[in-house]
Amino acid sequence: MRARGWEIVERVRAGEVLVFDGGYGTELFAAGLANGACPELWNDTHADTVRRIHKGYFDAGSQIVETNTFGGSRLKLNEYRIGDRTRELNERGARLARSVAPADGFVAGSIGPTSRLPAEYEPLGDTTDEEYFEAFREQAAALAEGGVDLFAVETMMFPQEARAAVRACKAVAELPVMATMFFQFEELHDRDRTMWGESPGEVATTLLAAGADAVGMNCGRGPDRAVVIIREMRAVTGAPLVAYPNAGLPITQGDRVAYELGPEEMAKDYPALLDAGAGIVGACCGSNPAHIRRIAEVVRARGR
C-alpha cells in the first residue's frame, strides 16, 4: 500500500494549498534552549516541551508539522559528541510529532545541513558526496522508523549536500521528499542566489533531477523575496512548490534576536506567494504559531 504522505503531492498537484509550520528554533529558545545547546537532545530531555511546540502548530492550522531533527545527522550531532545517539534522537523526534498529530495531520522528517563543506571547497571543504549520503541515509532511516509521512530536506546551502540528502531519503523509504534551499538576496544585482551561485530555476531543476517530489525555498530574507523565487521556479517546472521564509530580517536587541515581521505584516505577502505558484506555505526563523494562524487564514480565504 502506498504511504499516506503521497496524498500531499496529489492534493497540491490538484490545486490545493497546504499549510506548513513555523520556526522551531524560535520556539525552543523561547522555551529556554540555551545558545550553543543541542536542540535535538530536547527530544529526550524536554519531550513535553517539544510535544507542546508541535501541538501548537497543529492547533494554529498547520496541516504538515516537522520533527525537531533539523540538525539530527551524525555529522552534525558529532559536534555535541552525541553522534552515537543519531538513531535514537531522530526516531524519538518522529514519534513526538506523531503523538500529537490529528488524524488528518502529516509529519515531515526534518533533515537540515551538516555544517560541513563539500570536499571541492579546498582547503576548508572536507566532506565527500558519499559521506553526505551515508549521514543522511542513517538519519532518514531513523525518521522513517519513527513514522514520518514525508521527508523535508531543508535550508540546504550547497547542491552537493542537497542532492545527497534527497538521494538518501529515496534510498531508505517509499516516501515523498520535499527539498528546499536557502537563498541570499544580492541587492547589488537585485537577484536571489544560493551560496553556490545557483538561481531559483537552476535549483528547482537540480533538486527535481535528484528525485525530489516538491521543491522550493525556506529561510532567507522574507516573504517578499519568496514570491520572486517561487515565480522563477514556476517558470521552469510544474512540480509542487514549497515556500516557508523567515519573518523578515533578524534584529539584535541586547542579548536576544527578534525579527522584523509580526503575523499581520508577514501574511500580507502570502496572497502574492500563492499567485506565484506555491502549493505548500509556512514560515521559518522568527515565526511562531501566531504567524501560522494568520497564514492559514489567508490560505483558507483563497480556497473559498
* 92-101 residue pLDDT tens: 999 999 999 9
What's the chain's average pLDDT?
A: 96
HSE-CB at 166 with a 13 A cutoff on CA atoms is 26
Residue 164: per-residue pLDDT: 98
Residue 23 has phi, psi (to 5 degrees) of -70, 140
* 119 has pLDDT over 60: yes
Residue 120: per-residue pLDDT: 82
Joined together, the cell numbers standing for residue 270 give 502570502
Angle at 88 between CA 125 and CA 91, to 5 degrees: 95
Residue 122: per-residue pLDDT: 79
- Tell me the C-alpha distance between 296 and 281, whole Å: 9
Residue 34: DSSP 8-state: P
* Type of residue numbered 158: F
- Tell me the C-alpha distance between 244 and 229, whole Å: 11
Give this prediction's pTM. 0.97
Joined together, the cell numbers standing for residue 206 give 537540480
Quick check: 100 and 54 in contact, CB under 8 A? yes
- Tell me the C-alpha distance between 85 and 181, whole Å: 27
Rounded mean pLDDT, 88-113: 98
pLDDT tens digits along 201-243: 999 999 999 999 999 999 999 999 999 999 999 999 999 999 9
Quick check: 28 and 53 in contact, CB under 8 A? yes
Q: In the structure, what pLDDT confidence band is assigned to residue 15 with cuts at 50, 70 and 90?
A: very high
The domains found in the chain, sorted by start residue, are: 6-303 (3.20.20.330)
Residue 67: per-residue pLDDT: 98
Closest CA to 200 of 153, 241, 160, 244: 241
Residue 304: per-residue pLDDT: 54
Joined together, the cell numbers standing for residue 188 give 547589488
